[in-house]
């Protein structure tokens, strides 16, 4: 696993997703600025944890696909249904 490449690509994806840019959220009484919600991703020597969910070993095909998506410069395809505009 090329951790440096993964971290570089995650930083690039964060910029694409608008990291540090507030969004306007309309409320009944007006509007307020809101920061996008981050998606926790923890890298371990032998696997990952995403969303504070279960540990996923690198040997798992879905983990490999998610990391390959990131290394290719894309948001993980498994997140597209929940986050169609990216996260």
Give which of 50, 45, 47 is closest to 10, Cα–Cα: 50
Torsion over CA: 54, 56, 61, 67 (sign): positive
| Res 39: pLDDT | 83
- The predicted pLDDT at position 87 comes to 65
The domains of the chain are located at 3-82
pLDDT in tens, 36-81: 778 889 999 999 999 888 999 999 999 999 999 999 999 898 888 8
- The domain made up of 3-82 has a fold known as Nucleotidyltransferase; domain 5 (3.30.420)
DSSP 23: E
User: Has residue 7 got a pLDDT over 90?
Assistant: yes
CA dihedral 53, 54, 57, 62 (to 10 degrees): -60
- pLDDT recorded at residue 86: 64
């Amino acid at each position: 696993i090329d951790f440096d490449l993964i971290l570089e690509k995650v930083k690039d994806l964060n910029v694409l997703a608008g990291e540090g840019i507030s969004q306007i959220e309309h409320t009944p009484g007006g509007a307020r600025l809101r920061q996008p919600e981050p998606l926790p991703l923890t890298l371990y020597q032998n696997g990952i944890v995403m969303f504070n969910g279960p540990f996923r070993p690198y040997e798992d095909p879905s983990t490999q696909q998610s990391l390959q998506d990131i290394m290719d410069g894309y948001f993980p395809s498994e997140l597209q249904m929940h986050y169609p505009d990216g996260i």
